[in-house]
Amino acid sequence: MEDDAPVIYGLEFQARALTAQTAETDAIRFLVGTQSLKFDNQIHIIDFDDENNIINKNVLLHQAGEIWHIGASPADKAVLTTCYNKTSDSRVVSCAAVWRMPCDWETGSNDSPDDSAHNPQTLELLCHLDDSPHGNAACVLWEPMGDGKRVISLADNHALLWDLHESSTQAKVSSTATLEGKGQLKFTSGKWSPHHNCSQLATANDTAIRGWDLRTMSQIYCIENAHGQLVRDLDFNPNRQYYLSSCGDDCKVKFWDVRNVQEPVKTLEEHSHWVWSVRYNHSHDQLVLTASSDSRLILSNMVSISSEPFGHLVDDEELSEGEDNHQEDKSKEPLKDSVVSTYEEHEDSVYAAEWSSADPWLFASLSYDGRLVINRVPRALKYHILL
C-alpha cells in the first residue's frame, strides 16, 4: 500500500551531492556524496523499498576528497562521475573523475545491512577529467540518453566535451568552449539538453544563462540578467524543446522560452532564500521541484507552460497557433498553476532534489546536515494527472 508519508535517512555526514541512478529503471536508487574534512568521504547508495516503505543503504569509499557534485552514467549502472575538492601543496583544487562501483557492492549488504558501513569497499577510479590548464571543475554532465561515452565538464570559464574510451578508462577532450568577457568569469552550473539530438548545452555564470551549440562550440543565446543574483541551477523541460527553467540567489525560479529570451514565460517566488535546485519531472513536465536554503522543498504544478496545458498533450505548434481557437470552448481553459506541496522535513539548506529514474511519482531531497528525505507526489494529484 503506497503511503504519502515521507521516509527520512540520516547520513551522519554533511552532504550536498545527490543523483538518481539514471541507468537503473527497476529499483528506486539514489546516490549521495558526502563532504567531510576529517574522514574519508563516501558515496551512499540509497535503495528505497516502496512496498515496505524502508531505505536500504550501501556505502562505498571515495577517498579522493569531499564531493561537490555527482552524476550517474545513463548507460551503465556501475559508472558515475564526481567533482571533489582535494588539497595539494596547501591549495584546495577542484577535480573531476569517472569511477566504477565494485562489481560485488551489493553482496556484502544482504546478510547484515550494517556490514558495508563498517567495511566499505572503495570506488575504482576509471579516469580523471582534469585538464589542469582549464581550472577547477564545477560539474560534469553526461550526455542525456546517451551510450555513456560523452561527458561535458565545466571548469572555471571552460566547457570541455570529453569522449570516454576503453570502458571509460580513458578520456580525451574532443572540443572546448570558453566564456569570454571582463573579470574572472566562472561557470556555476549547466545542463545538457535532451533535445536537438543532444547538440545543445545551457550554462549559468554569475547572473547570466547561455546556450551553446556543441557541434561548433559557439554561443547560440544569452540571457544577460536572467536573475538578480547568482544563477544556481538549470533544467530543460523534457517534453518542450525550447523550455528551460532556472533558479538562483534572488529566491526566484524562472521559466524561459529560449527563442525569446527578453522576458521569462513565468516566475515563481515561493522561496524565502537562495534556490539551489530546480528539476522537471521526467514524464509529467508540469511537476517541478525546487530546493532552497530556506530549508524547504516545493513541488509546483506548472501546468499552464507544460506540454499538457489543457490536461492533454499539445505540441508546440498547436500552442502558438491555436490561441484564438480556445476562446469559444471554456472547457479548454488552461488549468491553473499552483503550489502542490511544501515539504518541511529538512532543518538545514536543501541543496539538491532529484526525481527517481524508476518511479515517476517519487523524489528525494538532500540537506546539508546529511538528511535525505524521500517523498511522493500526493496521490490525489497523481490520479488527476493520470485520469
pLDDT in tens, 79-101: 999 999 988 778 888 999 999 99
Res 19 pLDDT > 90:
yes
Task: Quickly state the pLDDT bin for 132 (edges 50, 70, 90).
Answer: low
Cα atoms in the Cβ-side hemisphere of radius 13 Å centred on 169: 3
Q: Average pLDDT, whole number, for the chain? A: 90
Q: Contact, 284 vs 292, CB < 8 A? A: no
Among 33-47, 286-300, 327-341, whose mean pLDDT is lowest? Answer: 327-341
Measured in whole angstroms, the distance separating CA 4 from the mean position of its chain's CA atoms is 23
For residue 45, the SS3 value is strand
pTM given for the model: 0.91
Res 191 pLDDT > 80:
yes
Residue with cell 547484515: 112
Per-residue pLDDT averaged across 180-199, rounded? 92
What are the backbone dihedrals phi and psi of residue 178, each rounded to the nearest 5 degrees, phi first?
Answer: -125, 140
Tell me how far CA of residue 308 lies from CA of 104, 287, 311, 383, in angstroms: 43, 11, 5, 15
CA distance 254 to 271: 12
Q: Is the dihedral of CA 219, 189, 24, 387 positive or negative?
A: negative
Q: Contact, 157 vs 177, CB < 8 A? A: no
pLDDT tens per residue, range 248-303: 999 999 999 999 999 999 999 999 999 999 999 999 999 999 999 999 999 999 99
Among 142-156, 176-190, 345-359, whose mean pLDDT is lowest? Answer: 176-190
Cell numbers at 17, concatenated? 551531492
Per-residue pLDDT averaged across 95-112, rounded? 77
CA distance 187 to 178: 10
CA distance 66 to 356: 24
First to last CA, the chain: 20
Tell me how far CA of residue 38 lies from CA of 5, 34, 65, in angstroms: 34, 11, 10
For residue 146, the SS3 value is coil
Which residues, at least 6 apart from 179, have a Cβ–Cβ distance to it below 8 Å?
157, 158, 159, 185, 186, 187, 203, 205, 210
